Amino acid sequence: MRILVLGGTRFFGLQLVHRLAAEGHRVTVLTRGLAPVQLPPSVEHLVGDRRQAASLREAIGSRTWDVVIDNIGFTAEESRLAVDVFAGRTGRFLFTSTAAVYACLADLVNPYREEDTERLPERARARQDPQLAYGFGKLEAERVLQQAYRERGFPITILRLPIVIGPRDHTLRAYSYWVRLKDRAPLILPDGGRVDWRFIYSGDVVRAFVRLLEEERSIGRIYNFAQEEIVSVREFVKLSAEILGVNVETVDIPLQWLRAQRIDPVFSPYSIPRSWILDISKAQRELGWRSTPWREWMRASIEWFEREYHGPPPENYARRAEELQLIERWRKMTTA
């Protein structure tokens, strides 16, 4: 197939490009050409700005594709541009969305189902909340695509992904835990790390795309993809320590107490106020979705970071000393 990937040079997008090229597809990526890239030799690289109509049009000329994968669409406007540019010029349009769309909804109950975004109202005043801007942007981007499907048959498929973890993860969220475990000083677990997650392995995101390419019946559909296991932040830290071969003390501190001290628990990026579990039964039923076992991909990801990551620590690590002082303060207060 002739496949155009918008993005595809950073994290799982790059892994996807490698996999598609290895499978013999004719792959083109489109980026602004700012990030340094190592693409497989068979992959064509177009330079253009996906957000600027003139730049995007000029970069792609009059070409057509069997599949366009939009890995860097974030707003309604960007989706409108994609529909304008690619309608009639691609057989499929796969859009990378996010589980953050569910954060925009009121009355949400775990596990989150695809139809929740149709069924549930938006949270009151949520549109003013800058923390929800990303989720709302993606939600509106999805809605433009769904409308184009209904009205013009624009051949969309939408993938909703939770936090992605794996080699090359530029967000360094998982690494925020690993770097702390490696310094062997105590680690704060807000609320004892009892929040539950379904994450997804970057390699499984790639598998999800590949599976969707085979399945024309997925046109017009939205799918949650995530790992099968539900794991708490505490379990995540415990398994990470096991894989790294370290024995580190964890200190449970209530999130409420941290907030009262005006401390944003950036040191534990997966500690949010509630569990975040995607319902994956639709992908299981319609696509036979199976995820890589959690223990297996955690090991692969940690080993990659141990071997290959030579960049700076995450920004949230800069105030590590203050975390340790906080632990002392909490201990004094609770033992007094």
**Residues in touch with ligand NAP (CB under 6 A):** 7-14, 31-35, 49-51, 71-72, 96, 98, 161, 163-164, 171
Q: List 223's β-bridge partners, or say none.
A: 159
**Shortest Cβ 34–ligand NAP spacing (Å):** 4
Tell me how far, at minimum, the Cβ of 35 lies from ligand NAP, in Å.
4
Q: Which two tokens stand for residue 170?
A: 């530029």
β-strands 65-70, 196-197: how paired? unpaired
The three-point CA angle 176-177-180 to 5° equals: 90
- The answer to whether the CB of 40 falls within 8 A of the CB of 52 is no
Q: Which is nearer to ligand NAP, 7 or 111 (CB)?
A: 7
Q: Where are the alpha helices (DSSP H) in 164-310?
A: 173-183, 202-214, 233-244, 255-260, 281-287, 294-308
Buried b (16+ CB within 10 A) or exposed e, 165-191: bbbbbeebbbbbbbbbbbeeebbbbbb
**Closest approach of ligand NAP to the CB of residue 4, in Å:** 12
Question: Which CB sits closer to ligand NAP, 71 or 253?
Answer: 71
Containing 55, the helix (H) or strand (E) segment is: helix 53-60
Nearest approach, Cβ of residue 43 and ligand NAP (Å): 13
161 vs 244, which CB is nearer to ligand NAP?
A: 161
Question: How far is it, in rounded angstroms, from Cα 139 to Cα 133?
Answer: 10
Nearer to ligand NAP, 137 or 193 (CB): 137
C-beta separation of 195 from 232 below 8 A = yes
Measured from the CB atom, the residue of 10 and 143 that comes closer to ligand NAP is 10
- CB nearer to ligand NAP: pick between 270 and 330: 270
Sheet of 221-224, strands arranged across:
44-47, 26-31, 2-6, 65-70, 90-98, 156-161, 221-224
Least distance from C-beta 265 to ligand NAP, angstroms?
Answer: 18
Residue (9 or 240) nearer to ligand NAP, CB: 9
CB of 172 to ligand NAP, least distance (A): 10
In this chain, which residue has its C-beta nearest to ligand NAP?
A: 13
Q: How far is the CB of 94 from ligand NAP (least distance, A)?
A: 11
R_g of the chain computed on alpha carbons: 21
Give the number of other CB atoms < 10 A from CB of residue 88: 9
Q: How far is the CB of 318 from ligand NAP (least distance, A)?
A: 21
Considering the complex, state which of residue 135 and residue 193 has its C-beta at the smaller distance from ligand NAP: 135
Q: Which two tokens stand for residue 273?
A: 């106020």
Task: Answer positive or negative: Cα dihedral of 280, 284, 287, 288.
Answer: positive
State how beta strands 196-197 and 231-232 pair. antiparallel
Task: Report, in Å, the least distance between residue 137 CB and ligand NAP.
Answer: 9
Residue closer to ligand NAP by CB (options 28, 326) is 28
